[in-house]
Amino acid sequence: MMNPDPSPSALRRALDGVYRATGAMAVACLVMIGVFTLAQVTARLLNTIVPSADDFAGFCMAGAVFLGMTYTLRIGGHVRMLGVLQKLAPPVRRYAELLCALVAALLVAVLLYYTGDMIIMTWKIGERTLGLVPIPKWIPMMTMFIGLLILLIALLDESLRILGGAQPVYAALEETEGVSTADAS
């Protein structure tokens, strides 16, 4: 991932490292889905099962989605209205980007709050998964919480960049990679 800041601070390097780490964890979750699927197929050919393989693959899918959101944001992979944004004058585009980042941060903060509340509740009542291998339900739910927390930090990070007069990282990457309006439509 390209860093548009020529001399990044320790905080900037740490945040970028966290963002890359969540991307790597999302990839690990995708690999584990493949491993669980392959194990289950092989077990069926041998007339046996891998207990709760489908449950664990589902947990990994949730992990891949929520842990991968921040990295996807940072590389400009989320769906955006480039055709509209590129037609705006630079100051107006900056305010539009800021508004989008702040609204997204607000929505993610609300989702994070309710996810945390749900995790606490499942922990308090001792809720477990229903598969053949019952595990405390709060454990797989933590990937959702961690993914949302890091996404919230990234959205606030982007908002601060925009407020400071810099482009969002994903917009800077679009320019350096030559993304045009024609490519976006």
CB 169 within 8 Å of CB 161: yes
Tens-digit pLDDT profile for residues 51-85? 999 999 999 999 999 999 999 988 887 776 677 77
Secondary structure of 82-116 in HEC code, one letter for each residue: HHHHCCCCHHHHHHHHHHHHHHHHHHHHHHHHHHH
Q: What is the mean pLDDT of the chain?
A: 88
Residue in 115, 122, 121 with CA at minimum distance from that of residue 143: 115
Q: At what angle do helices 138-163 and 90-125 cross, to 10 degrees?
A: 160
Non-local (6+) Cβ contacts of 150 within 8 A are 18, 19, 22, 67, 70
Confidence of residue 177 (pLDDT cuts 50, 70, 90): low
Domain boundaries, the chain: 10-184
pTM: 0.85
